[in-house]
A and B are shown apart, each in its own frame.
Chain A
Amino acid sequence: MYRYDEFDHRFVRERVGQFRDQVERRLGGELSEAEFKPLRLMNGVYLQLHAYMLRVAIPYGTLSSAQMRRLAEIADTYDKGYAHFTTRQNVQYNWPKLKDMPDLLDDLADVEMHAIQTSGNCIRNVTTDQWAGVAADEVADPRPVCELLRQWSSLHPEFSFLPRKFKIAVTGAPRDRAAVAVHDIGLRMHVNADGARGWEVLAGGGQGRTPMIAITVREFLPEAELLGYLEAVMRVYNLHGRRDNKYKARIKILVHELGADAFRAQVEAEYAKLGSPTVDVEQRELERISAYFAPPVYDELDETCVPFELAKNENREFAWWVKSNVSAHKVSGYAIVNISLKPTGGIPGDATSQQMFVVADLAEQYSHAEIRVTHRQNLVLPDVRLSDLYTLWIELNSAELATANVGLIGDIVACPGLDYCALATARSIPIAQDVSERFEDLKRQHDIGSLTINISGCINACGHHHVGHIGILGLDKKGEEFYQITLGGSSDENASIGTILGPGFAGDQVADAIETIVETYLGLRADDEPFIETYRRVGAKPFKEALYETA
């Protein structure tokens, strides 16, 4: 993975020093809260319901064991012994004190991490496929470009005070695990007939209160032109994005109001004027970065591993775990291990410092000391030998990290909601806990099969409910929480926005409603047709009938 050189180190240290000065000026009353706010936001510091919250960037979701250990130490030193992994492959701490923030950031800088631009109206941490570099279906590892974008977007002089936050997602695989179509900019790698790499540039996707699927701005952009072209897109947005209403300020509204063709024309006109004076530098830089992402040295292994097959036959629980949590690796004899942070009744995405230390150790022992964070709030060990899977599973089990539900109904994504978030209209964590307890039975989960549930505590949609197969949105009606259910959302290469089924439900009725939906699906599915396909085949009607006739 990428390693900082002296310049990256100096950059991040200086940034901490600058923030230390700003915090001192704020604590000393020299800066007003209004002036301090955008400064702290650009350093990842939010003011939440009960305390300050710090969001730490995990660039494109890749972590080393050493970094994971430091994140665990920070959880112990500055928080209450746990951390929360988010839907944007970041990690959040809910309880650090403002005066401690600069020290905390220095601790992060020791391990080449920072919190730059994890909030504020700037370009946020770039996200990508959690299986980047190891996925069997990948065109190429997208992370060198992600790192290039990280550097380019860090304290960008022109794009640090945009109309609104700006999120870029990148995928190097045809199967989209990075949800590029629901980001402000999405990049999808293609190889053309001459074997040259290029990027499909999407723009104007988003969730929040007006969910939209992105349009394709360019079908195939030669890789060398990437930064210049992004600059053109960003400039059109910075100049013309709406600033009169924060709910209409994302790029999706600009794209929508202009129309796809007019937006494309504006971008192309801007791009034509740019010239590209720094392309050589970028290419050299991209090559330099790419060297860090050279694949590790893999052992030459057989495609099958007999002891592993035997273990699966002998141990049903292990077999279930393999089925849901282990994915195909591009190298024979290896597997990708997905670690669920969704134990039954737990808080989605939370990990104790103890668990984080365990994951760091296991990654070191079994997976080239590398860990990934997924946008479904889970962790990944990307490089595990088939022959190690059983031992690894036992060790994960003893740290309560072997819940066999990745991609299943228990693997619920939920935002922090009213338990932490100042913007929330309803709680989301207790709903996730309720539903996961209702479907506790693993055999049943496996029988139901692939199904995503996403829960947001308000229309800002941080829990990505619009793109959950089942989406749950918490709202407030005269002081009472109630929950709206949508069906048919998806964030993959066939991205779609879910449809609202009908009137909402009280918090204690949600699990029943989900159960009705699931039973209806089981009655309708053909063979092992997954939920989303059944839904697409039959539509919302049978689900509506089942839900509202009995209600």
Chain B
Amino acid sequence: MRLLKNGEFFEDTWLTLDNEEAVPQGADILVSAERLQAEFGTLMLHNGRLGVVVANDRAVDDIADYLEVIDTVVLEFPSFTDGRAYSQARKLRGSLKFRGGLRATGNVLPDQLAFMRQCGFDTFEVNGRFGLDVWQRAVTAMTLTYQGGYVPDRGFAPADVWSARAGNADDTLRSDFEEIWTA
């Protein structure tokens, strides 16, 4: 698996740990929400980056208290038709004000990429099946939205169409998106 972020592929250097597995010094690690809750005292002292994987039948409010020290949250799409993680992402980015990395894993396909980004995901765990050109096309196919959405490092922007109508065309979600993706 590799990661797609800001229009480029990266190798995934994060280690996903089982609940029993020893924590390797210095590594960037992903643990389950259960383990995070149970071992937070020691995990927060870990000297690599810390991330958490939240199953999609779990309330993201459960990890609210830990978000300040968490670098990355991973949300799961067991199948692309199971859309619970979209709402989890919106809650994380919205009421929980999480500004770290938000990764989508599982059945992540180009046709859902735009929705995921709009809900606040910025990193995508993908297999080698689709080339960068296909992912790029998925980002540019629709240049407008009727809903607001999350812009990395900035928070929520209002709906493109509605703000453009109000004369704030530069202030739209999509123009920020394009910048980030093509920078």
Contacts and interface: CB of A to CB of B under 8 A. Distances in A.
B159 A156 contact: no
B109 interface: yes
Nearest to B111: A39
A127 interface: no
Interface in A18-36: 18, 21-22, 35
Interface string A511-551: 00000000000000000000000000000000000000000
A471 B161 CA distance: 44
Contacts of B163: 281
A10 B118 contact: no
Contact of B82 (A39, A159, A161, A273): A161
Contact of A14 (B82, B143, B165): B143
Contact of B165 (A273, A275, A285): A285
B24 interface: no
B101 interface: no
A51 B165 CA distance: 41
Nearest to A37: B81
A210 interface: no
Contacts of A277: 148, 156, 158
Contact of A157 (B86, B94, B137): B86
Interface in B151-176: 156, 158-166
A238 B86 contact: yes
B49 interface: no
Given A157-B118, A158-B86, A274-B94, A281 B166 contact: yes
Interface stretch (A133-141, A147-155, A183-191, A300-308): A147-155
Contacts of A35: 109, 111
Nearest to A235: B87
Interface of A: 5, 7-8, 10-11, 14-15, 17-18, 21-22, 35, 38-39, 121, 151-152, 154-162, 235, 238-239, 243, 273-275, 277-278, 281-282, 284-285, 288
Given A157-B116, A278-B159, 7 more contacts: A5-B165, A8-B161, A14-B141, A156-B146, A157-B115, A161-B86, A275-B95
Which 10 residue pairs are nearest across A and B when measured between Cβ atoms? A161-B83, A157-B118, A157-B115, A273-B95, A18-B141, A151-B146, A7-B161, A158-B86, A238-B87, A281-B162
10 contacts: A5-B165, A7-B144, A7-B164, A11-B142, A11-B161, A14-B144, A151-B161, A161-B82, A161-B86, A273-B95
Interface of B: 59, 80-84, 86-88, 90-91, 94-95, 109, 111-112, 114-116, 118-119, 137, 141-149, 156, 158-166
